[in-house]
């Protein structure tokens, strides 16, 4: 399996290509850990998986023009809208088994712009949570 460098990622929020405005992407899918330990001679704990919490956190550059990050994301956050969010590692290659696309309906609960420091690039984080029972999933084929 080839190792990669994050250079050509694709980031799409509500049909708007924000790839050039994104700097980092972190996906987390965590199952609740439910303790079902009984009185065991070994004393070992036993767990089952419970509900799943999924987040997609994207670090964006601050940009305030039409079609840029703030103009796209803040209305989504303010309106509590559920939107399609998509990410894949290589925007120059089609969605495939070797270039799967993470996608799902997301709710932008955390919006952190502006975050400015003198002399540094302005960045902020936008955190999407899965908004329906399908959650965020990896797909090896393009959207129909």
pLDDT, residue 18, reads 97
pLDDT over threshold 60, residue 122: yes
Indicate the pTM of the whole model: 0.88
pLDDT over threshold 80, residue 143: no
Alpha-carbon span 123 to 63, nearest angstrom: 9
Q: What is the per-residue DSSP string for 18-31?
A: -GGGEEEEEEEEEE
Residues 106 and 82 sit within 8 Å (Cβ to Cβ): yes
Residues 104 and 92 sit within 8 Å (Cβ to Cβ): no
Q: Which of 3-7, 86-90, 138-142 has the lowest mean pLDDT?
A: 3-7
Q: Which CATH number is correct for 10-139, 2.30.110, 3.40.50, 1.10.3470, 2.40.128?
A: 2.30.110
């Amino acid at each position: 399996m080839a190792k990669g460098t994050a250079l050509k990622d694709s980031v799409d929020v509500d049909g708007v290509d924000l790839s050039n405005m994104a700097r980092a992407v972190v996906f987390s899918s965590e199952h609740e850990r439910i303790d079902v330990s009984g009185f065991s001679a070994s004393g070992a704990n036993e767990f089952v998986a419970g509900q799943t919490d999924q987040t997609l956190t994207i670090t964006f550059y601050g940009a305030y023009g039409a079609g840029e990050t703030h103009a796209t994301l803040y209305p989504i956050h303010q309106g509590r809208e559920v939107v399609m969010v998509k990410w894949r590692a290589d925007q120059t290659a089609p969605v495939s088994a070797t270039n799967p696309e993470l996608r799902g309906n997301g709710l932008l609960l955390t919006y952190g712009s502006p975050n400015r420091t003198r002399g540094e690039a302005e960045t902020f984080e936008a955190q999407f949570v899965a908004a329906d029972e399908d959650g965020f999933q990896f797909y090896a084929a393009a959207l129909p």
